[in-house]
Structure 1
């Protein structure tokens, strides 16, 4: 009976080794055991859960020995401390909270690292198509939904508004949502004059643009963009291409930043390397699944990182192998 058990175990090990062959290279034994990765996203109805769920699906399909498990959180401001405490392995974090954490603004500098840049996030407001409001200053004094309470979106808007001399919680009747998905309904029924958001394919903008009455976008003008960038130099000029949303016939210029997937400090190099290799080996498939993911590339990660040393060492090892980093 013991010999039978030994023979069975040996056969299973041999089968596992055979299954671990990839292009003639044997993956290390750690790949034989499924690796579970916890992924923090944000509140339902926002862009982070949409991206995170798609990320997990394509990654798990590409590497059956990976099990990436998305988890709804309150967003960027909760994801950072959860990562630092080791309660998440990886998490989605907007550009502004990432920047403040990396630079130690209002807190000690974090030791978290970047797995990948997700996508650029040009910030703007959306109003109903029949709204009388045409500019940002038209919205002064009005109720505006600035996003979910723990999200990075209100931080982006705060910096942008500060750049043009406005204070988010004094010059507007600021609304902070429990769920990101609640914003469009508030604008449509008049509880809010506008909804703030960011990015291409953002669910809140999509819901507004596809509503029966339609929608219109409000972004900073050229002069305002110049003032914002003069005061907050890390914000980048970004464009929402024409046709990104229904009935959006012209490109929209704004400012914003890149969102990231950050990883806990203690994530082993070999795990980060494996995640990077899997992700950037399926960039095309990820792009087909989600338009925002077309910006999730190795080259964009290097360009978007405030400093290349903020990228996880395991990821940098892979980037050097493919020639993205010297």
Structure 2
């Protein structure tokens, strides 16, 4: 009798572990988002009247101007050098990354988007849809064939989870403005100050509504960081994009449009780039295609492409229209 083979490590998923890596990146950045104020990595202290960056006090330098030690011109130079230029540099870095790779920050790091995806998962189990505005129920299975059972009782998890995330966000945002240890000590003692209570209560109510009903809409239309990334990405025809092998479209018949169903932004990944304006490059559609086509010797139909391949990918969508136009003429 042949010996039994006991696997030491789990088999690599069809997407090469891309989604596993992305989840770790999201989790790590969420922890950073929560702890950054605690360790003074980045915050503005309204009590002290100055910012903190990487553990050091960051002053605009206007104290000397108030004391009469420097003139107006030098005060302006300090504001430009210590405030405006660092902000512009951070913005340029974000735009530069977006120009080449799209909204990678949104899909791989953004703490808000990780909340969006988490609530999507639980809301789908509650109502069969990742959003209350979704017109149709999704197929009750994952791309790998694992069944998903829908039950309204999942609302007992979904709603408290959304409110819990909202509360955490409200508290964390407050620590970016007030001394974190003051905020947390007041909460642990059950005696927040009047202003702290108002901020946390209002933030929890507003964010709860947003997480439950408008989280996708916020990412699409209200997030300035996401909007600027999308504009930069759309301006580069050679930027990284989800490419679709159109000449193999017949292979999609063996699938149930899994790439459409897994998209957390509710987009159609096989469509042209301009309809994918808010794509976060989370690559869930690529992973879903790799899973459903794992037995296809030709491989998946969706993959990241850039450079000339990205330009060609868009041209492939417009070619059939041009052919029809030529025949009509």
TM-score (norm 1): 0.25
TM-score (norm 2): 0.25
Q: Flag the structure with higher helix content.
A: 2
Larger Rg: 2
Q: Flag the structure with higher strand content.
A: 1
